A and B are shown apart, each in its own frame.
Chain A
Amino acid sequence: MSGRRVGAITRRLLQGFRRDRRTLALLFVAPIVILALLGYLLRGSSTAPNVGIANEDTGPLGAVVAGSLHQSSHIDATDIDASAGDSKLKDGSLVAYIVLPANFSQQAQAGTIAPEVHLEGSQPGQDSPVLQALQQSLISIAGQGNNIHFAPNIHYLYGGPNFDTLDYFGAAFIGLVVFFLVFVITIVAFLNERTQGTLERLMASPLRRGEIVVGYMLGFTVLAVIQSIEVLVFSLAVLRIHNEGNVFLIFGMEALMAIAAVNLGIFLSMFARSEFQAVQFIPLVIVPQVLLSGVIFPVSSEPGPLQWLSNVLPLTYAVNGMRDIMVKGADLTWSSLQVDVAVVAGFFLLFLVAGTATLRRRVA
């Protein structure tokens, strides 16, 4: 092995990077940005779930348990009226509420205490701190009587005892997988059109810019729709991901995400000169969206400034919509789903217009 020849290869490689500032930025700036984002997301998050306490006990023990729940570090407890509990679960202001019934103290004296625990249920990770906090607070009254049996009455607004992590993530990932793959394929294919010179030919033909973009969009949409069907069938029939919603509505949301991804790919291909540069959009575009759109961490638990950022990302609305349909059984009469569909459709139109408007630039 010749050190000079090996050195020549190493030198050639580094010389190439010297003139490719974008790649250098990706190598040295992107990791810091992504890690900083992740650090801020995890350390700055308010991780304790909001839990409502409705103490209806006429005896003394209810107040003891409620006090203990307020002290718990596992949850962020607030006193509520039991009748308002379900609506607070639905609007997302609470992840659970606990009702200590009027005869709670009497139950304890009889040896069995049965507080009612109402869980929102769509985020399995948030159920366990609630149950843990309740268990610890009940221990505080265990010393006051012998042979007390704890039998909490657990109700789920969505999901159920068998609703697992895959059910929660699956709903988001069905859309994410389609969005990601369609985006990557579109950006590379459209860039090929540019680098192989055929786009220049198209621009010198009577084709209008809009016709090129819409033609591309429809072509990729055919593939994306087939992929969406495949992903959906596999998720529901093989993985048996929990689904409360209408299958056609899930498919519609997936297809809308795919079409938005096609247009985002076309638009961003305008800013890449090579496939190498196009692939660099993946960490820049996809990773922040995966971290901030609620796929992994609920948007409501993010630090405030990041929530602002999350609210301008298309994937946030797509993921929320998919979860609403599949976990909560939402349909188009739900105003939240109407907003999600409208925002994803709005982004699709925005990318379509942006892709068309920038097509004239840098044809060669």
Chain B
Amino acid sequence: MSETYAVNVDDVSKSFGSFKALNGVTLRVRQGEIYGLLGPNGAGKTTLIRAICGLVEANDGSVTVLGQRMPNVAVLRHIGYMTQQAALYPGLSVEENVAFFAAINSAEAGVKAALELVHLYDRRKSVVSTLSGGMRQRCSLACALVHRPDLLLLDEPTVGIDPQLRVQFWDYFRQMAADGTTLIVSSHVMDEADRCQRLGLIQYGRLLAEGSPADIRAQGGSPNLEEAFLNLAGRRES
């Protein structure tokens, strides 16, 4: 039943000119689930995430988020989107950036909690252009979750973040999922895959395999996820 899914991607294709970025992708993400989109650079992960939040309109197929067919502006109030690039205003302070994204989502009360979560409360007055890459990523995450969205789309969120903070991020992602937030996390780093409840392996715009990390290992015939992925990719190509 579609209403039990937070995200329902049904046979979605998207081309940019002659390049087919998505080719008949179908996946469903349950509410409160952490779903990992895994694949190499250029596989179509970002396009899929952009299609889910309505920034890209599919040529074929449909995307339904929280029961509404996308694109739908009203649903965006319930979505948090962290872009691959730490998209922030470099001339504003950390707090001003987070406060801005809180304001456009009518969630001004959540600024302090978001800053504390990403360990930037003490650096809240720092201007973003003076921050390291990792700190910018943390600030970007705070901007994405300041309004406590029902669906959090994270496009390679842990790039440039040190291992200790990465662990904390994943703890928090799990906590959010337990509270009912649905998370879709893209990554090309396989060691993050085990932290997800379900995975979708994507390459050349196609979903190669889907399931729990254990399912993927079984389908790929290897206890190692990376090897399993390579096996699945090789089978599809042959």
Contact = CB atoms under 8 A, between A and B. Distances in A.
A206 B73 contact: yes
Nearest to B153: A204
Contacts of A202: 104
Contact of A196 (B73, B79, B90): B90
Interface string B83-112: 101111110000000000100110000000
B79 A207 contact: no
Given A196-B87, A196-B88, A363-B55, A201 B79 contact: no
A200 B105 contact: no
A204 B81 contact: yes
Contacts of B54: 204
A348 B211 CA distance: 54
B77 interface: yes
Contacts of A198: 87-89
Nearest to B79: A204
Interface string B19-60: 000000000000000000000000000000010011100000
Nearest to B86: A197
B232 interface: no
A206 B54 CA distance: 11
B76 interface: yes
Nearest to A215: B104
A208 interface: yes
A200 B55 contact: yes
A203 interface: yes
A207 B79 CA distance: 12
A200 B88 CA distance: 11
A197 B83 contact: yes
Interface residues of B, number: 22
A207 B74 CA distance: 9
Nearest to A205: B104
B143 interface: yes
Contacts, number: 45
A206 B55 contact: no
A201 B87 contact: yes
A197 B86 CA distance: 8
Given A205-B101, A207-B104, A200 B77 contact: no
Interface in A186-220: 196-198, 200-208
B141 to A, nearest CB: 12
Contacts of A200: 55, 83, 87
Contacts of A208: 73
Contact of B105 (A196, A197, A205): A205
Interface string A49-79: 0000000000000000000000000000000
A197 B85 contact: yes
A125 B83 CA distance: 59
Given A196-B88, A196-B90, A198-B88, A205 B83 contact: no
A203 B55 contact: yes
A204 B77 contact: no
Nearest to A208: B73
A32 B83 CA distance: 43
B72 to A, nearest CB: 10
B77 A201 contact: no
A253 B101 CA distance: 35
A51 to B, nearest CB: 58
A252 B87 CA distance: 37
Contact of A201 (B73, B74, B90, B143): B143
A197 B143 CA distance: 13
A364 B49 CA distance: 13
Interface in A318-364: 363-364
A203 B50 CA distance: 10
Contacts of B77: 206
A95 B195 CA distance: 82
A196 B90 CA distance: 9
B81 A206 contact: no
A201 B105 CA distance: 12
Interface of B: 50, 53-55, 73-74, 76-77, 79, 81, 83, 85-90, 101, 104-105, 143, 153
22 contacts: A196-B85, A196-B89, A196-B90, A197-B83, A197-B86, A197-B87, A198-B88, A200-B83, A200-B87, A201-B81, A201-B83, A204-B81, A204-B153, A205-B101, A206-B73, A206-B74, A206-B104, A206-B105, A207-B104, A208-B73, A363-B55, A364-B55
Given A196-B88, A204-B153, A205-B101, 12 more contacts: A196-B85, A197-B86, A198-B87, A200-B55, A201-B101, A204-B53, A204-B55, A204-B76, A205-B81, A205-B104, A206-B73, A363-B55
10 closest residue pairs by CB, A with B: A197-B87, A204-B81, A206-B77, A197-B85, A204-B53, A198-B87, A206-B76, A201-B87, A205-B104, A197-B83
